[in-house]
């Protein structure tokens, strides 16, 4: 729903399990197969947050890896390296700490990770893209405008760089028949498309926009749904996180006459969470674009 900030780090840790379960296996395999036969790969992770892409993929790629994290908040990147070092140690890797970087070694495999503190929109000024093999991004393109993406996507096409991305919101629903669900989900979605200093974010239209953009450039695209399933008592923490975020977002665009209805609605949802009967389904999209 938003890129990581130090204040909501634990939301991103909590969601990792659901992100992993939701990943579209056909799209993931298209990405992994693209690099069959390579001895090493350099990956730039845009808006890398708490390092979830690396944490998920570093054992799936069988070869040497060089990861470059681009994240605006240094505290978040430091947290990501610590998180990765703990998980790698559990998996039997030798962990070598450096300034703004980490190296993981196991048998003949080496994984180097470093971070840059900046906006990923400055990518061309931060990284030599001629030395990059893959760009990754999760939950970032939804948050920028179409014109910003065109500038960025054109660079990827020019450099013939593959892109693996999770587009972080397409739609959501609850296991209820309340007509208020439709009203307040639409309110929440309008927040994602609110006017901002850079223009209007793409929000839930992002999957269709990206597919159309890359198809018109004759790129090879593999994409499919990635669905969060927050079901029952085991998902209580994540459901509370999600409702809190919806409440915070909706507050900015709520009309006065809707405030009482919204308060009653969000209260009923929280009660359902506590009773372990609220199921929430959020659809994302995974996408792999190859320009070769």
| 3-state per-residue secondary structure call for the chain | CCCCCHHHHHHHHHHHHHHHHHCCHHHHHHHHHHCCCCCEEEEEEECCCCCHHHHHHCCCCCCEEEEEEEECCHHHHHHHHHHHHHHHHHCCCEEEEECCEEEEEECCEEEEEEEEECCHHHHHHHCCHHHCCEEEEECCHHHCEHHHHHHHHHHHHHHCCCEEEEEEEEEEEECCCCHHHHHHHHHHHHHHCCEECCEEECHHHHHHHHHHHHHHCCCEEEEEEEEEEECCHHHHHHHHHHHHHHHHHHCCCCCHHHHHHHHHHHHHHHHHHHCCCCCEEEEEEEEEEECC
Which token pair is 111? 């994984």
What is the pLDDT at residue 4? Answer: 43
Give the Cα separation of 251 and 187 in Å (integer): 9
What is the pLDDT at residue 2? Answer: 40
Give the Cα separation of 201 and 23 in Å (integer): 24
**Where do we find the tokens 């948050």?**
143
Q: Kind of pairing, strands 64-71 and 40-46?
A: parallel
Give the Cα separation of 194 and 215 in Å (integer): 27
What is the pLDDT at residue 232? Answer: 86
Q: Tens digits of per-residue pLDDT, 102-151?
A: 999 999 899 999 999 999 889 999 999 999 999 999 888 888 888 889 98
Closest C-alpha among 283, 292, 221 to residue 18: 283
Give the Cα separation of 26 and 4 in Å (integer): 27
What is the pLDDT at residue 230? Answer: 93
- pLDDT under 50: residue ranges of the chain: 1-7
What is the pLDDT at residue 198? Answer: 66
- Kindly report the pTM of this predicted structure: 0.89
Q: How far is CA 255 from CA 157, 246, 250, 261, 265, in A?
A: 43, 15, 10, 11, 15
CA atoms within 13 A on the CB side of 268: 14
Domain range 6-173+200-228+282-290, CATH architecture: 3-Layer(aba) Sandwich (3.40)
| First-to-final CA distance of the chain | 31
Strands laid side by side in the 40-46 sheet: 94-98, 101-106, 109-117, 64-71, 40-46, 134-138, 163-174, 280-290, 220-230
What is the pLDDT at residue 196? Answer: 67
What is the pLDDT at residue 189? Answer: 82
CB distance 104 to 88 below 8 Å: yes
What is the pLDDT at residue 292? Answer: 61
Which token pair is 240? 């509370």
CB distance 155 to 184 below 8 Å: no
Q: Tens digits of per-residue pLDDT, 82-96?
A: 999 999 999 999 999
């Amino acid at each position: 729903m938003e890129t990581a900030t130090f204040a909501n780090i634990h939301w991103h840790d909590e969601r990792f399990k659901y992100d992993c379960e939701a990943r579209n296996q056909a799209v993931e395999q298209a990405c992994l197969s693209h690099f069959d036969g390579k001895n090493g790969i350099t990956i730039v992770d845009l808006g890398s947050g708490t390092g979830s892409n690396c944490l998920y993929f570093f054992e799936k790629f069988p070869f040497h890896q060089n990861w470059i994290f681009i994240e605006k908040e240094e505290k978040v990147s430091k947290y990501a390296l610590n998180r990765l070092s703990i998980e790698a140690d559990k998996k039997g890797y030798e962990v070598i700490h450096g300034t703004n970087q980490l190296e993981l070694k196991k048998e003949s495999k080496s994984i180097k990770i470093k971070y840059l503190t900046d906006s990923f929109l400055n990518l061309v000024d931060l990284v030599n893209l001629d030395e990059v093999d893959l760009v990754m991004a999760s939950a970032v393109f939804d948050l920028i405008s179409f014109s910003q993406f065109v500038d960025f996507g054109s660079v990827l096409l020019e450099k013939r760089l593959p892109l693996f991305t999770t587009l972080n919101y397409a739609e959501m629903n609850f296991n209820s028949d309340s007509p208020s669900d439709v009203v307040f989900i639409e309110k929440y979605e309008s927040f994602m498309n609110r006017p901002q200093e850079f223009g209007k974010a793409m929000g839930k239209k992002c999957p269709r926009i990206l597919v159309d953009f890359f198809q018109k450039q004759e790129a090879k695209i593999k994409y499919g749904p990635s669905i969060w399933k927050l079901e029952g008592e085991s998902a209580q923490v994540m459901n509370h996180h999600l409702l809190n975020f919806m409440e915070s977002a909706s507050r900015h665009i709520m009309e006065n006459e809707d405030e009482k209805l919204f308060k009653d609605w969000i209260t009923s949802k929280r009660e359902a969470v506590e009773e372990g009967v609220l199921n929430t389904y959020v659809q994302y999209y995974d996408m792999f674009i190859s320009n070769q």
